[in-house]
Structure 1
């Protein structure tokens, strides 16, 4: 992989991190890499700081399809997207330079809001009420009405995002090799008058999900995109599909997705 020589580091400033980064820079440069200050010039984008930093790095750099992403955790941090730690950064460089790399390809979901604004998400998109009142959404699958949801909101997660917000609502953990996305409920109302499926459901990658928001007071629902939140006025509908985009990351040997799930949760 000798053509992959330009590295961009994404991180949030914190006490003590600058000194550690100086050592990383020196180590990278001594191995023939070039540190760039503009992510557009990089073919390797490295996030420092766990899964939150990794998600931000992907979003802030535009879900690049022509580069590799990799995540580095700090002491005491863990991450399902991050194979490396600050203490084994040299192992990452050695993998890129000298070994036949295994590259993971993580699926991305695409969201179209009101037919006007487009977003991509690596983890999940959520639509939630911002007032003390249930949000009402008609749920369509491939343009066919499925249910009318009443509750706090809905989460649509990628397979890798299934271990995040989705899992906290008792959604299933999905193998990222399965091309699909998952829909999970937030505090749905189920009684003699109102009824939803009451469980998560999984859609194949060629399905289209549409959430049509009823304008009954929830005029400013929160749209959660990975770990960022947007308030968009008068959201009428959100259409979600699995994108053709994938995020490519460097994979260490003997460190599968399920190895990381086990370390994180069991």
Structure 2
């Protein structure tokens, strides 16, 4: 699967031709390997498309732009990638996902979602007021623009821009970060990112309103009467086909520091 840019479309066509020439069958119905061509957003789309078969599918990311956190291969490495797929023996690495259970005022049963990166809760042009519980024990009352709950792999995305910590993707943890919290004599929060253990969960109980916006990765729903959200580490995991070692901290350094380092070295 690729995005619609001209470069990604060309790379997708080239990769299909090479895979067919190598004797592989291409299908979108029930794949064993899903190859994403584009960026991290494209891979997120692939993840949600095949989230119902996570126990039998592995993902591979081919990047056609800047370095992505979910893409181990570049567009000029197609021949090497095909060679690795030809020699595939099922090697993979798996990372935790976020389980999101949402209760709405308008329906009896909770809705269930899986997130690879993060989930956020906001209101339309208004602050939200929520009570936050950890393992069903009251922790704090929050008022502000919203909240963000992220996986370790999602810690380098929106959560990081909110001041969250960067977590290694092998950690079994979730991170809660606040979005522009209000802190005064009436409202007081920890005002710091919270990282919770794998046997804990976060419950967010909302103030009555019908204009909440919920995001799960790049997906969003608007103007919903949400009463409660429960966040926990999902039973399901995402599996990436790993043919070579990609050091996580080297990728972090290259994405966020590398260009500055290169500029300084050129002085």
TM-score (norm 2): 0.89
Aligned mate of 1:225, from 213, 216, 219:
216
Counterpart secondary structure, 2:79: helix
Partner of 1:105: 94
1:177 lines up with 2:170 in the alignment: yes
- Cα gap change, 1:73 to 1:125, in 2 (>3 Å): same
In the alignment, the residues of structure 1 paired with residue 237 and residue 248 of structure 2 have an alpha-carbon distance, to the nearest angstrom, of 16
CA contact (8 A) 1:95 1:101 kept: no
1:14 lines up with 2:5 in the alignment: yes
Runs (5+) with no aligned partner, structure 1: 1-9
CA contact (8 A) 2:2 2:12 kept: no
Structural mapping, 1:1-266, within 5 Å: 10-36=1-27, 38=28, 40-63=29-52, 64-74=54-64, 76-98=65-87, 102-114=91-103, 115-131=109-125, 133-215=126-208, 218-231=209-222, 233-266=224-257
CA contact (8 A) 1:110 1:243 kept: yes
Counterpart secondary structure, 1:161: helix
CA contact (8 A) 1:43 1:66 kept: yes
- 1:209 positional shift: 0.9
- 1:100 positional shift: 6.0
Runs (5+) with no aligned partner, structure 2: 104-108, 258-267
Calculate the aligned-residue CA RMSD, in Å.
Answer: 1.6
- In the TM superposition, structure 1's runs of 4+ consecutive aligned residues that sit over 6 Å from their partners are none
Counterpart secondary structure, 2:97: strand
What is the total number of aligned residue pairs between the two structures? 251
